[in-house]
Amino acid sequence: MSTATEHVNGYERQAADPVEQAKADAIRSKSYAESEALRIEAEGKAKAAEIVAKEEAEKQRLANERARLKLEKDQAAHDRHMAEQQRKAAEERVAKDKAERQEAEEAQQEADRAAEQQRSERYWKWGARGIYAVGLIIAAPVQFLHFWDPERPFLIAAPGLLEGFALVLACGAAWAVAHKRDVAPYRVGIMLGALIAAAINLYGGMADARIGFNAGLIGAIASLGGPIVLMAYEHGIAQKADGIPSFRERRATEKAEKAAAKDRERAKAEKRAAEEKSAAERLDQKRRAEVEQERRDNDRQRRHPDVWEVAESLRSARGEAVVTEAIWSEAWYVVTGSKRVGYTTEIEATARAAQARMKTVTEMPIEGEFSLITSQKAARSKKAPDAPDGRRFNGGTPPRRTPGDTQPYSAGAKKQAAIEQTQPAAADGK
């Protein structure tokens, strides 16, 4: 290997070997490429990390937003639930208060009614006894005057017997009511005693001048009125004790029963009318069904006699009254081999041929004026052989490229090209 020396600034320098220079250049290129690759890789990783961080931040933001919205939704649902619970609680309190007030009012009304009943019963009781006592005070002197005889002083006890007879029987009637016994015998005895006393008082007033007619008449009325009033009181007490309804209660019950009977009659009439209407509709539907079945049978028997014969055979064998749709479908399948009623071999063949033609037409390419192959390109006309080239400023030769004619590459493309260039050099160095 020969070398040449040169003198530079008074020093002799040996010329560099081209091979060594090439190796050094290769090493420098490799180092530069590796450093550039590392730099690009670091930048890519940094950008990737930045992108990942941005994506994670966006995901976290979206997650936080979703959590916030869900929390707001849950809070709103909770607020609605609490409001609904409070509303229900308020309604329940209002209903409870209303029910309590109503119960209190009913209880007060019942207490007032019971107090009024006791008051009226007390007035009625003592009023009846008072009338009996007043009648006894009026009737007794009349009887005393009538029965007074100095020769027979014992007859002075007769008024006590007559008036006491009715009084004792009245007490017996009260006992019978209290012990739920028959009151009729006591009432009969009271009326007999009162009638006898009234007759004696009236006779005494007419026969004895000391008594007079007026005193005898009022004595007779008193003898009758007192026991009658007392008996009426005992009669009401007996009915109440026996649970016998009053005339007003019986009348209200009769009115309610009549209204209920009218409602029952009206309901029966409405039900009967609905049943008659339903029966008429069913009969009409049955008739229409029979007419429709007859029409189908006649049409099938006329248009498809072979299938109808098989259908009739199946119907007879199965004990059916008419040829049903299931029997007709089965008979059609037996005769024609088609599971679709109405399809025959000719119809099926025609349908399949039409389907094949349609498939061929729809899948074949379109040519001619309706073709879409060149529809996106403008039509070009051929140039004449002797036409000029059409390119300007170059005399017909291709133009020379100059810097700036081509759009510069992007930064990413440059980095990728640098990486691809360093890869073969690195491979050669290894």
Segment 117-129, tens digit of pLDDT: 788 778 877 887 7
Residue scoring higher pLDDT (263 or 176): 263
Q: Is the pLDDT of residue 340 over 80?
A: yes
Count how many domains the chain has.
3
Kindly state whether residues 29 and 88 are assigned to the same domain.
yes
Q: Is 399 inside any structural domain? A: no
Kindly state whether residues 206 and 139 are assigned to the same domain.
yes
Q: Is 283 inside any structural domain? A: no
Q: Is 232 inside any structural domain? A: yes
Kindly state whether residues 140 and 240 are assigned to the same domain.
yes
Q: Mean pLDDT lowest for which of 119-123, 153-157, 207-211, 389-393?
A: 389-393
Q: Is 295 inside any structural domain? A: no
Q: Is the pLDDT of residue 409 over 70?
A: no
Q: Mean pLDDT lowest for which of 241-250, 252-261, 277-286, 371-380?
A: 371-380
Kindly state whether residues 55 and 99 are assigned to the same domain.
yes
Kindly state whether residues 77 and 137 are assigned to the same domain.
no
Kindly state whether residues 52 and 139 are assigned to the same domain.
no
Q: Mean pLDDT lowest for which of 17-21, 244-248, 333-337?
A: 244-248
Most confident of 29-38, 188-197, 281-290: 281-290
Q: Is 352 inside any structural domain? A: yes
Give pLDDT tens digits for 27-47.
877 787 778 778 887 887 888
Looking at residues 309-322, what average pLDDT do you find? 87
Residue scoring higher pLDDT (415 or 49): 49
pLDDT score, position 376: 42
Q: Is 138 inside any structural domain? A: yes
Kindly state whether residues 139 and 231 are assigned to the same domain.
yes
Residue scoring higher pLDDT (322 or 13): 322
Structural domain boundaries, residue 354: 304-359
pLDDT score, position 394: 52
Residue scoring higher pLDDT (389 or 310): 310
Looking at residues 318-347, what average pLDDT do you find? 86
Looking at residues 214-218, what average pLDDT do you find? 82
Kindly state whether residues 166 and 237 are assigned to the same domain.
yes
Task: Give yes or no for a contact between 125 and 233, defined as CB atoms under 8 angstroms apart.
Answer: yes
Q: Is the pLDDT of residue 137 over 50?
A: yes
| CA 12 – CA 5 distance, rounded (Å) | 6
pTM for the model: 0.37
pLDDT score, position 216: 80
Kindly state whether residues 98 and 160 are assigned to the same domain.
no
Q: Is 3 inside any structural domain? A: no
Residue scoring higher pLDDT (69 or 16): 69
Q: Is the pLDDT of residue 1 over 50?
A: no
pLDDT score, position 366: 56
| CA 185 – CA 176 distance, rounded (Å) | 10
Looking at residues 369-389, what average pLDDT do you find? 52
Kindly state whether residues 93 and 149 are assigned to the same domain.
no
- Least Cα distance to 225 among 186, 184, 189, 195 occurs for 195
Q: Is the pLDDT of residue 377 over 60?
A: no
Burial profile 249-275: b = 16 or more Cβ within 10 angstroms, e = fewer: eeeeeeeeeeeeeeeeeeeeeeeeeee
Q: Is 121 inside any structural domain? A: no
Kindly state whether residues 92 and 21 are assigned to the same domain.
yes
Q: Is the pLDDT of residue 361 over 50?
A: yes
